[in-house]
């Protein structure tokens, strides 16, 4: 049961999942009579599942859970729909057996041999990947295959409905097309009995009630049924048909499909249904601000994120500002990890109104009951990365944990499983991105004098000094006018660049407490020796 106080707070929350869910509440204040409210996500299995697939299922699930809160627990369903009757348009560069796939250009994805040799078709392989992918994250969903629905006759009634409204649908679509495309456009795409390809040809309706159409195929006039998998619908018509046939109430999509939503919505009305509620989200950009493209390979894969970050941090990053363009590259991962844990730690102390605006509140409820709020990391990911950075590309788990023993109470991997996973992530991130480009610049004369002063202070203070004491010591040196730092941040930037080889860094007091005073003094000594050698 949903706490009524929680429902009341959700009704006025400005968190985007609640704002989206309130659109559905206007339609179904207490749920949908006779059936659950249906949420849908779509996936094109011409390639492997990726972050775009994940984000759509995650964000849709967030809205689904928000709707359940707003309605006091009204029943819902989530369908993950695979468009596997689509014809293969081009061969993705990252797949094996390119020749095999090239020989089946234009064929439905579910009728193309699997280039990996592990399933009965290319679509079946990718659909299995999709399901394993969603199961890995614990999503609650129902899988629906387009080819299964077409081939089994499950869409036959909806296809006949399209033929009955053929001219009205043409009236929606033709004004949106270029002149050349208009000559061949048809809402219905027959599948050639001779070649097995999905045909882009003009079609004449012979008998709408029987499902018979007429078209040209290899120079011959053919009359053929569209039922039982002998045809499929053009994309925008297919989307509208699916909304009506399945009774979809909510589906979001990317900004690139804005026009498609408008046209499919009009077609859904013609078919006797209505466009579902939904959000149009912004697309991802690479680190240069360019749109991410699967063919360019300028994005970031799920596996890459999970190698260098965590599942929770990925969800956190995708939660934030879905209607704003977001850069998606390796550089955003460390901050996403630390911000996730910051929000998670403060969740229990927040009043319910603030909790509902906390991304972690929503993420913990996507596939569970919200357990885990208030947990914290004893060491930030940023600090962990700095530690591994000074240990070098050959850093090992054992080395890292030996240093963590200086800083973390009960420094046992089994006692800190989330931190232990991040140790592996930090080692990988440093090995692949930091160590190959690490350069510690030589300190200037004034910076060298400040570093020497820090070295003397560390020698006097002793190994047991706390992170806070060490931080204050560093502050005092930076504020000393003898060293000429106009602002404290100039001093910290000098520490990061000369000792850590980074333009940014952690609280240096925390780093020194973790790395150890003697080890830090060695770093200082190396920096000063490098300066002396440069000036010799």
What CATH number does the domain containing 470 carry? 1.10.10
Residue 418, SS3 per DSSP: helix
Percent helix, strand, coil in the chain, to 5, is 55, 10, 35
The per-residue pLDDT for 464 is: 87
The whole-number average pLDDT for the span 173-193 is 97
| pLDDT at residue 234 tops 80 | yes
Dihedral sign for Cα 345, 351, 354, 360, please. Answer: positive
391, 428: one domain: yes
Q: Which pLDDT tens digit goes with each residue over 84-103?
A: 999 999 998 888 999 999 99
Q: Does 250 fall in a domain?
A: yes
| CATH code, domain with 133 | 3.40.50.620
CA 70 to CA 68: how far, in whole Å? Answer: 6
359, 492: one domain: no
Q: Which pLDDT tens digit goes with each residue over 130-159?
A: 999 899 999 999 999 999 999 999 999 999
From 395, 410, 437, give the residue that closes a domain: 437
Q: Which pLDDT tens digit goes with each residue over 282-334?
A: 998 888 888 876 556 667 888 899 999 999 999 999 999 999 998 999 999 99
Domain that holds residue 472: 445-535
Q: Does 193 fall in a domain?
A: no
Q: Does 219 fall in a domain?
A: no
The per-residue pLDDT for 55 is: 94
Q: Which pLDDT tens digit goes with each residue over 352-387?
A: 999 999 999 999 999 876 666 678 899 999 999 999
Mean pLDDT of all residues belonging to the chain = 94
Tell me whether residue 250 is exposed, middle or buried, using C-beta atoms within 10 angstroms of its C-beta: 0 to 12, 13 to 18, 19 or more. buried
18, 167: one domain: yes
355, 477: one domain: no
Number of domains in the chain: 4
Q: Does 179 fall in a domain?
A: no
From 421, 437, 453, give the residue that closes a domain: 437
As given in the structure block, the two tokens for residue 91 are 């061969």
- Residue 90, phi-psi category: left (phi > 0), alpha (psi -120 to 50), beta (remainder): beta
Q: Which pLDDT tens digit goes with each residue over 420-475?
A: 999 999 999 999 999 999 999 999 999 999 999 999 999 999 888 999 999 999 99
Q: Does 502 fall in a domain?
A: yes
The whole-number average pLDDT for the span 21-35 is 96
271, 289: one domain: no
CA 322 to CA 337: how far, in whole Å? Answer: 18
The per-residue pLDDT for 526 is: 96
From 226, 252, 281, give the residue that closes a domain: 281
Confidence of residue 495 (pLDDT cuts 50, 70, 90): very high
Q: Does 347 fall in a domain?
A: yes
Q: What is the pTM of this model?
A: 0.93
Q: Does 126 fall in a domain?
A: yes
DSSP-assigned letters across all residues of 240-270? HHHHHHHT--B--EEGGGHHHHHHHHHHHHH
119, 251: one domain: yes
352, 265: one domain: no
The per-residue pLDDT for 461 is: 93
Percent of the chain residues topping a pLDDT of 70: 98
The per-residue pLDDT for 298 is: 65
311, 271: one domain: no
| pLDDT at residue 73 tops 90 | yes
The helix-helix angle for 381-391 and 417-429 (nearest 10°) equals 50
301, 332: one domain: yes
433, 459: one domain: no
The least confident of 232-246, 286-300, 384-398, 503-517 is: 286-300
CA 382 to CA 380: how far, in whole Å? Answer: 5
Q: Does 202 fall in a domain?
A: no
88, 59: one domain: yes
DSSP-assigned letters across all residues of 268-284? HHHTT--PPB--EEPPE
426, 471: one domain: no
């Amino acid at each position: 049961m949903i706490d009524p106080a929680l429902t009341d707070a959700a009704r006025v929350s400005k968190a985007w999942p609640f704002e989206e869910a309130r659109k559905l509440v206007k339609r179904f204040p207490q749920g949908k009579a006779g059936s659950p409210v249906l949420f849908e996500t779509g996936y094109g299995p011409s390639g492997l599942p990726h972050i775009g697939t994940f984000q759509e299922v995650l964000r849709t699930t967030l809205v689904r859970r928000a709707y359940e809160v707003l309605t006091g627990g009204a029943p819902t369903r989530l369908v993950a729909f695979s468009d596997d009757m689509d014809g293969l348009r081009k061969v993705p560069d990252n797949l094996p057996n390119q020749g095999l796939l090239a020989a089946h250009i234009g064929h439905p994805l579910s009728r193309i041999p699997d280039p990996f040799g592990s399933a009965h078709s290319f679509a079946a392989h990718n659909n299995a990947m999709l399901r394993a992918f969603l199961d890995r994250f614990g999503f609650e969903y129902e899988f629906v295959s387009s080819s299964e629905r077409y081939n089994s006759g499950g869409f036959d009634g909806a296809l006949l409905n399209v033929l009955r409204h053929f001219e009205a649908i043409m009236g929606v679509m033709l004004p949106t097309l270029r002149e050349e495309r208009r000559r061949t456009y048809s809402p219905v795409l027959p599948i050639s009995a001779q070649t097995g390809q999905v045909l882009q040809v003009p079609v004449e309706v012979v008998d709408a009630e029987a499902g018979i159409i007429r078209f040209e195929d290899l120079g011959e006039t053919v009359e053929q049924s569209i039922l039982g998998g002998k045809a499929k619908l053009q994309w925008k018509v297919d989307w509208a048909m699916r909304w009506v046939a399945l009774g979809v109430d909510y589906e979001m999509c990317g900004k690139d499909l804005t026009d498609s939503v408008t046209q499919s919505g009009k077609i859904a009305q013609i078919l006797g249904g209505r466009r579902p509620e939904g959000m149009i989200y912004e697309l991802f950009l690479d680190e240069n601000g360019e749109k991410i493209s699967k063919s360019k390979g300028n994005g970031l894969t799920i596996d890459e994120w999970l190698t260098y970050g965590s599942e929770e941090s990925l969800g956190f990053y995708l939660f934030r500002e879905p209607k704003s363009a977001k850069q998606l590259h390796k550089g955003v991962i460390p901050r996403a990890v630390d911000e996730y844990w910051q929000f998670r730690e403060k969740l229990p102390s927040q009043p319910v109104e603030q909790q509902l605006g906390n991304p972690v509140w929503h993420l913990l409820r996507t596939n569970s009951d919200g357990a885990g709020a208030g947990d914290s990391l004893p060491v930030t990911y940023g600090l962990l990365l700095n530690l591994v950075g000074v240990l070098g590309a050959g850093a090992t788990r054992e080395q890292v944990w030996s240093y963590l023993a200086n800083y973390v109470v009960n420094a046992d991997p089994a006692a800190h499983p989330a931190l232990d996973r991040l140790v592996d992530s930090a080692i990988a991130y440093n090995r692949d991105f930091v160590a190959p480009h690490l350069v510690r610049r030589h300190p200037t004369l004034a910076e060298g004098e400040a570093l020497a002063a820090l070295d003397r202070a560390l020698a006097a203070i002793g190994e047991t000094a706390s992170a806070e004491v060490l931080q204050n010591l560093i502050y005092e040196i930076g504020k000393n006018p003898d060293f000429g730092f106009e602002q404290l941040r100039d001093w910290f930037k000098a520490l990061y660049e000369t000792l850590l080889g980074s333009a940014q860094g952690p609280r240096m007091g925390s780093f020194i407490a973790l790395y150890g005073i003697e080890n830090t003094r060695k770093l200082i000594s190396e920096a000063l020796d490098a300066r002396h050698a440069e000036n010799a």
